[in-house]
Amino acid sequence: MSATNEVITSGSYIKHHLQNLTYGQFPDGHWGLAHTVSEAKEMGFWAFHLDTLGVSFLLGALFLIFFYRVGKKMTVDTPSGVQNFIESVVDFINENVRGSFNGQNPMVAPLALTTFIWIVLMNTMDLVPVDWLPYVAQQIGVWFGADPHHVFFKVVPTTDPNATLGMSIGIFILIIYYSIKEKGVGGFAAELTFHPFGKMMLPFNLFLEGVNLIAKPVSLALRLFGNMYAGEMIFILIALLPFWVQWSLSLPWAIFHILIVLLQAFIFMTLVIVYMDMAHQKEH
């Protein structure tokens, strides 16, 4: 059902829930919100997914504010339950960094903590019933005079490849930066051209190492996106079933999906630590 209680088809329901609220430039030059999937495609690369940006930035801000407030009130004498929880999370991150990172860089642990918590929060939005926030967005759109059929809202930022690629590209830039900083331009270039088969196989080495380097951000982004997109799709398909069947399936899947939410964040964080360790290695 739509905001106007109009019955829609299953295909339209699925497409509506998987479409982003897109703002961009139309072919005629004016800027605005896309009303259809085809209009969103016409906006091209420089379109903005407002739902992905809004939800991810809001969750990131909540994470920073929450950790900051807990940090300001930390005490050794009478730690609260929240403080104990935060300290256990920080200890968990530090243990993983100590186990996988052999360099000396104080930024790696905060980077790992940020990626883990932020991705957990974004993934957790997948556990919100699929119709709640899109319905709220439709009601707000109607209040502003918009057609509810044209108000899209994709709740889970990590089901948008733009979000996962954005994070992965940021990590990739750090990998390149620290590879050059630790090894020098010559050392980094030699790593790409002289390994693994020596100087005589320079073109072949460059091809292999170049593919390996580019595969790091791509694999980070697509692994997270693929798992979360599939999970969201299953929730949407369950929502299409009769009401009495929905609860019998959605609750077990939600409980199982909690593991996916945490596991995907952990894998992303672990790979970030490993890639940063590789960027700091000077043995070769």
What is residue 198's predicted lDDT score, i.e. its pLDDT?
Answer: 77
Token pair of 142, please?
A: 């109607």
What is residue 3's predicted lDDT score, i.e. its pLDDT?
Answer: 47
- Rounded to a whole number of angstroms, the CA Rg of the chain reads 22
In a domain, 2, yes or no: no
Q: Which of 84, 212, 219, 248 is catalytic?
A: 219
Report which DSSP code applies to 103: S
What is residue 7's predicted lDDT score, i.e. its pLDDT?
Answer: 56
In a domain, 118, yes or no: yes
Q: Whole-model pTM?
A: 0.91
The total number of structural domains that make up the chain? 1
Annotation marks residue 96 as catalytic: no
What is residue 283's predicted lDDT score, i.e. its pLDDT?
Answer: 64
Q: What is the mean pLDDT of residues 200-227?
A: 92
Q: Which of 56, 227, 248, 250 is catalytic?
A: 227
Cβ-in-10-Å burial (0-12, 13-18, 19+) of 89 comes to: middle
The span from the CA of 42 to the CA of 240, in Å, is 30
Asked if residue 139 has pLDDT above 90, the reply is: no
In a domain, 204, yes or no: yes
Q: Which of 2, 105, 162, 223 is catalytic?
A: 223
In a domain, 81, yes or no: yes
In a domain, 160, yes or no: yes
Query: Any idea which of 52-66, 111-125, 247-261 has the lowest mean pLDDT?
Result: 247-261
In a domain, 4, yes or no: no
Annotation marks residue 88 as catalytic: no
In a domain, 5, yes or no: no
Question: Could you report the per-residue pLDDT of 172-199, keeping only the tens digit for each?
Answer: 999 999 999 999 999 999 888 887 777 7
What is residue 93's predicted lDDT score, i.e. its pLDDT?
Answer: 97
Q: What is the mean pLDDT of residues 128-153?
A: 85
Q: Taking all residues of the chain, what is their mean pLDDT, rounded to a whole number?
A: 90
In this structure, are residues 70 and 245 in contact, taking their beta carbons and an 8 Å threshold?
A: no
Question: Could you report the per-residue pLDDT of 20-55, keeping only the tens digit for each?
Answer: 999 999 999 999 999 888 999 999 888 999 999 999
Query: Any idea which of 83-87, 132-136, 271-275 has the lowest mean pLDDT?
Result: 132-136
Give the structural domain span for 139: 10-280
> How far is residue 130 CA from its own chain's centroid?
18
The span from the CA of 12 to the CA of 85, in Å, is 43
Report which DSSP code applies to 208: H
Question: Could you report the per-residue pLDDT of 259-277, keeping only the tens digit for each?
Answer: 999 999 999 999 999 999 9
What is residue 284's predicted lDDT score, i.e. its pLDDT?
Answer: 54
Q: Please, what sign has the CA dihedral across residues 118, 123, 129, 135?
A: positive
In a domain, 255, yes or no: yes
